[in-house]
Amino acid sequence: MAEPNFQEQLERLEEIVRRLEAPDLDLDAALKLFEEGVERLRQARERLTAAEAKVRQVLATHAGIVFSREALLSKIWRGDTFVIQQHHARSLHWDLRLERDGVLVSWAVPRGLPKDPARNHLAVHTEDHPMEYADFHGEIPAGEYGAGRMTIYDKGTYTTEKWRDREVIVVLRGEHVQREHARGEGGLAIHAPNHSPGRLSSGHWICARSSCCARWPSR
Sorted by where each begins, the domain ranges of the chain are 6-75, 78-209
Tell me the torsion sign for CA atoms 88, 93, 98, 100.
negative
> CA angle 65-69-70, nearest 5°?
115
d(CA 63, CA 66): 9
Nearest CA to 158 among 188, 114, 190? 188
What amino acid is encoded at 113 in this protein?
A: L
What amino acid is encoded at 153 in this protein?
A: Y
For the whole model, what pTM was predicted?
0.58
* Percent of the chain that is helix, strand, coil (3-state, to 5): 30, 35, 35
Kindly give, in sequence order, each residue whose CB lies less than 8 Å from that of residue 194, ignoring residues fewer than 6 positions away: 201, 203
Q: What is the pLDDT along the chain (219 residues), one digit of tens a residue?
A: 455 666 777 778 788 888 878 878 787 887 888 888 888 777 777 777 777 777 666 655 554 444 444 445 444 445 789 999 999 988 899 999 999 988 999 999 998 887 777 888 999 999 999 988 888 988 888 888 778 899 999 998 888 888 988 889 988 888 775 554 444 456 788 888 765 444 555 678 988 887 544 444 444
Asked if residues 109 and 93 have their Cβ atoms less than 8 Å apart, the reply is yes
What is the biggest distance separating any 2 CA atoms in the chain, rounded to whole angstroms?
Answer: 62
